[in-house]
Chains A and B, each alone.
Chain A
Amino acid sequence: MLDQVIFYLFSAVAVAGAILTVTRRNVVHSAIFLITALLATAGIFLQLRAEFLFIVQIILYVGGIMVLFVFVIMLVNLDVAVRQLRFARQKWVALLISLALAAQVGLMLWSTGKMPGQGVPVLSAVPADKLPPNSEEVAKSLFSSYLLPFEIASVLLLVAMIGAVVMAKRRA
């Protein structure tokens, strides 16, 4: 019961934050609502007992990436962007795409519900208090089975770092 309340609370905040992110005219407000949505998602991770991912979401996403966003928003001139039109003219495209996506996933969920004896599985495969310590598990998995992807990700980050510096540097 408590679990459900927590889930609905966080998901309501996440969805509301997401909607406000894409509809606000002021970019800084957008960023604030995106932060809200990301924090709510972190709460959902915690509700799913993914503690390590919860804190990574907070440190990396909110504390890292969003700080970068806010910084860039303050570096580029805001006033020009605020005065002009909010949306481009692709409303119908957006509507179509989102409807198609919703229909697709809805159909899928509906059809699994129709299947005999299957239905939508309930998250109860492993009881919450029987889970092994999360960060240790993630670390073990990350540094054994997924060592190569991990290294690739670090190379990707290095490339991105160099790329960002090259991009943002003033040409002499």
Chain B
Amino acid sequence: MQAVTQVTTEFVKQYWAPLLCGFAIVAILPLIVGYVVLVERKIMADMQARLGPMRVGPHGLLQPIADAVKLLIKEDIIPEDADKLVFWLAPVLSVGAALLAMAGLAIGPAFQIAKDINIGILFVVGVSALGIFGIVLGGWASNSHYSLIGALRSSAQLVSYETAAGMALVSGLLFAGTLNVTSIVQAQYDQGIWFGLLAPVAFFTYLVASIAETNRAPFDLPEAESELVAGYMTEFSGFRWSLYFLAEYTNMIVVASVATTLFLGGWLRPFPRTHWLDFLDFLPMVLMTGIGIYGLLRVPKQPARVQQLFMLAVAGMCFAAAFVLAAPVLIPFFKSSLIAAVKPYHDGILGGFWFIFKVSLYIYFFMWLRFTLPRYRFDQLMRLGWHFLIPLSIINVLVIGVAMILGSHFHLEGWQLLLTTIPASVLALIIALFILNAEQKSEPQRASGDASDTYA
């Protein structure tokens, strides 16, 4: 007994900070996901000239909580012929993998659960790839044809796009020279340029592949209503279904964070080394204050007293956030002796803001695509993956490597590297298009409905 307590105290003493961060993520993430869904519905409504959810709370701000309560108190149905154990396990696996992947991410220089792990970004990619088992096993366990076909489709899609995404990450990692998340961002600071600009083709490939990996439109046919009922989730309801939902949105956040870290400069503000742009440090504060003032202006327009109070509270939270964001910038402004003392908070808080800002932009792009593009057919999806994206990403790794060697030969640094990498990227694109063209010509014309071969 004594040994157990000893080990526990040792463990807690050594790892209290990551444990706390982990608890925070697991506790807050469902809430964040709920609000991401709300934002998605609002954006959809805006693009379709509607209002979206307006009933629960002012402007529907309490809708996620109402949805969560509804999902939690729904009846939990397990099909008669389902494999009980696996049916129970599959959603947990899915959400567990997605949450575990968050551990490797760094939200700003200060907030990272698994600090400075050597394998960094590989950990995130590898662990989030485990979510595929949740999908396959869930589809198999529900003992239904729609589920099984949906699961097979979904996992075929995940496996094929994971290759492209992995190769795209390799092109980015070539510039960083390390797998460690912190060092990757540091490398972008040292070079003064985002790797997404140095390797645009890799960024594009990762963007497309990450949409496919998270089963989002226009590649959402494993779970599209008009294709396979709801794919692997057909038989899941209530809380289990919401676990899958949570996993999907968490995965979105994970891929967006990976892209942000590797291609969009992580927690660095735009142009981190250009000093006349230092006023950008004030942007977060101004932004939050602006939102707060807008909230205040909306208060008198709310119909009920409760709604007015709630809107006031939202505005207050915005002002509080603005205050937190402003403190590290404004304190040295008034009292320059405190610059050194404030520096770590400055980086941590503002870095966190920029990271979350970029991740939000990436996710906004996902939503934008969802409401703009029509859905792909399954064989088109497979062809896009195998015949275009995978060759493109592999060729891109090769030519980017050559471009880097050329760059170091001519002693190019930072922005100057664009001189070699941009022609290389164009070259990769041309070669990949050429291959695609040649394949389409050599391939005998197939009946368009014949998608069965693409499973193999």
Contacts and interface: CB of A to CB of B under 8 A. Distances in A.
Interface string B118-135: 110011011101101100
B62 interface: no
Nearest to B117: A51
A74 B85 CA distance: 17
Given A35-B133, A59-B126, A63-B129, A28 B83 contact: yes
Given A62-B130, A67-B136, A55 B155 contact: no
B67 interface: no
A163 interface: no
Interface stretch (B5-13, B284-292, B394-402, B416-424): B5-13
Contacts of A122: none
Main secondary structure of the interface of B (DSSP, over half): helix
B89 A32 contact: yes
Contacts of A168: 456
Interface in B1-56: 3, 6-7, 10-11, 14
B159 interface: yes
A141 interface: no
Given A1-B7, A32-B86, A70-B133, A51 B119 contact: yes
Interface residues of B, number: 32
A9 to B, nearest CB: 11
Interface string B151-195: 010010001001000000000000000010000000000000000
Interface of B: 3, 6-7, 10-11, 14, 83, 85-86, 89, 117-119, 122-123, 125-127, 129-130, 132-133, 136-137, 140, 148, 152, 155, 159, 162, 179, 456
5 contacts: A1-B7, A52-B118, A58-B126, A58-B130, A134-B119
Given A28-B140, A51-B118, A74-B136, 12 more contacts: A2-B10, A2-B14, A5-B7, A32-B137, A52-B119, A54-B119, A59-B122, A59-B126, A63-B129, A63-B130, A70-B137, A135-B179
> 4 closest Cβ contacts across the A-B interface?
A59-B126, A63-B129, A58-B126, A55-B119
Interface of A: 1-2, 5, 26, 28-29, 32, 35, 51-52, 54-55, 58-59, 62-63, 66-67, 70-71, 74, 133-136, 168-169
